[in-house]
Structure 1
């Protein structure tokens, strides 16, 4: 029985054993696989968890660092903690020294400015005094120079006096003849009005030029300038002249026309350099007028002119302080150009009916 059982159940036994072995093997293998699977699963989970933990740690560190930075930037680290007390003391002392130095510098700056201001005042006072002295010196020198120049001019006028006297005498003769001729012509006209036949004797008596007749026949006077002028320095004024002003000034632009104040005969211009380009007119009353500082003269010596006739243009020739006409009047018998013997031209002009 036993044998039979043994025989009968060998397969079972074998199978049992085999199965058992197999099961054992299988179980072992399965367990191994399961263990390996579990190990792999746990490894993966561990890796993932480790990664998560690492990432979390990194994010946590970053957040902590950021929070710490924000805390530092917003709250700042206490000076007592971040800076040693010795450094604080040193800084305070340094700032104190700087404040004292700045204060001393400000004081020095103020003192420097005050001293500079006083020095500037002293310099200004000295400069003002120097300018005043220089001005007085220049004025005195200029006056002396003008007087010397005028003295030289008077010597030239004195040398010219004989010539001008002769010309004046000739002019007076011509004017007298013209006056007589005009009177004769008027008488002849009157006679002709009472008779049909002209008077040959009266016609023969007229031996002067038409210019002379025109000059002597015109009456009254004319302003020497008729536009763009003003009345300037008058006769007898003192100031920038060597002694006093010897005529009447009419400031006007250069090129302003100048006219004869009264009828007469043109004489030679004065030799005095002070007058520059000038015209001298001998009048019928025996006196003469002088027109100085012209830019150009258009009347020639010996020419007869009538009142209001163009004789030249305003300029700055000679010793002039600016463009203007300087007019002088010389009474009968006085040589034109002897400035300190001249008379007031306004008086002469008013005698001609010129209101000025």
Structure 2
């Protein structure tokens, strides 16, 4: 195959050498002959180049089939080498530009994505702030409506509290030997049992404390004890059960008048005492629930000093401080 390619190249070279150069001047006949010979020269050059390239590719095909090593010292026709160089020249610069353009496009896309994420985050944050403000306004509005109901109920609760105080005083007199006909022995025992008790005794944890701010209309007005629904609730001290507060936020609730203020137990699932009942410290009064405006099962426990109305939440005091005054450690 190599011999055939070489002979073709030599024949093309002979044809080229046989062409005789002519002067540009002369007769028209001579100029015509010159033009003819010049055209034959172009054709010959074209044929030689094509044969050279063909020879190169033919050699490469045969060499691959024969298992030639690319590192062998093989003579390659100059015309074929030149053509190959032009056709398969180094394009690394063009490739580099493509890579740069690709990286630039990726960077622009990343920046655009980050801008979109930032804008979305700002939008979400603004929406969350608006929702918080709206919710706070709604909570304040609902609580204001409840306080109107509590104000209407205050006269009734005040009368009940005064009657409860008389019972407590009577029980105290009976305890020291005075003859009392209005109270049963059980009532006297209930009202004269001293000390204090945790309002929940098991399966609970310490929740939001008095004065905390966040999800409440203004601030948290009691002590929370998260516990499963149905967890028993006990009277924190001896006293007389009053009417439940009319504030809907408390749901099912119990109010107890003690010798030193009143306590309110909110969000019950069920209560087992009624207004007018006497209770002793640690007596079962109901069970934990999620009634009223509650975010989960828990007991919301409040303390109201003498002279305040149970349910008028912003007149409440820290119930933990009151429990500690009775010797109860909240933990």
TM-score (norm 1): 0.66
Residue 165, structure 1, aligned to residue 158, structure 2: yes
Is the Cα–Cα contact under 8 Å of residues 260 and 307 in structure 1 kept in the other structure? yes
Partner of 1:55: none
2:255 to 258, 280, 284: 280
Q: Identify the range of structure 1 (238-247 vs 302-311) with the bigger mean alpha-carbon deviation.
A: 238-247
1:108 to 96, 101, 123: 101
Partner of 2:40: none
1:333 to 303, 307, 313: 307
Distance 1:319 1:87, change over 3 A: farther
Distance across 2 between alignment mates of 1:319 and 1:298: 21
Distance across 1 between alignment mates of 2:236 and 2:217: 27
Partner of 1:139: 132
Distance across 2 between alignment mates of 1:255 and 1:72: 90
Distance across 2 between alignment mates of 1:341 and 1:292: 16
Partner of 2:265: 291
1:211 to 186, 197, 205: 186
RMSD, aligned CA: 3.1
Partner of 1:355: 329
Give, in angstroms, the shift of residue 298 of structure 1.
2.0
Distance 1:258 1:71, change over 3 A: closer
Distance across 2 between alignment mates of 1:127 and 1:329: 45
Distance across 2 between alignment mates of 1:142 and 1:353: 39
Distance across 2 between alignment mates of 1:127 and 1:328: 42
Partner of 1:270: 245
Partner of 1:126: 119
Partner of 1:303: 277
Is the Cα–Cα contact under 8 Å of residues 153 and 271 in structure 1 kept in the other structure? yes
Larger gyration radius, structure 1 or structure 2 = 1
Is the Cα–Cα contact under 8 Å of residues 181 and 206 in structure 1 kept in the other structure? no
Distance across 1 between alignment mates of 2:163 and 2:66: 117
Distance 1:278 1:87, change over 3 A: farther
Structure 1: segments with no counterpart, 5+ residues: 1-68, 188-201
Q: Larger helix proportion, structure 1 or 2?
A: 1
Give, in angstroms, the shift of residue 316 of structure 1.
2.2
Distance 1:169 1:113, change over 3 A: same
Distance across 1 between alignment mates of 2:272 and 2:85: 95
Residue 256, structure 1, aligned to residue 249, structure 2: no
Partner of 2:295: 321
Residue 242, structure 1, aligned to residue 217, structure 2: yes
SS in 2 for 1:145: helix
Give, in angstroms, the shift of residue 236 of structure 1.
1.8
**1:170-221, Cα deviation, whole Å (9 max, x unpaired):** 322333333333333xx6xxxxxxxxxxxxxx4xx43313432121121111
Partner of 1:48: none
Distance 1:105 1:207, change over 3 A: same
Q: Identify the range of structure 1 (170-179 vs 335-344) with the bigger mean alpha-carbon deviation.
A: 170-179
SS in 1 for 2:295: coil
Distance across 1 between alignment mates of 2:135 and 2:90: 67
Distance across 2 between alignment mates of 1:261 and 1:219: 11
Distance across 2 between alignment mates of 1:246 and 1:128: 34
TM-score (norm 2): 0.70
Give, in angstroms, the shift of residue 305 of structure 1.
0.9
Distance across 2 between alignment mates of 1:168 and 1:87: 114
Partner of 1:66: none
Give, in angstroms, the shift of residue 73 of structure 1.
4.8
Distance across 1 between alignment mates of 2:312 and 2:128: 30
Give, in angstroms, the shift of residue 140 of structure 1.
1.6
SS in 1 for 2:114: helix
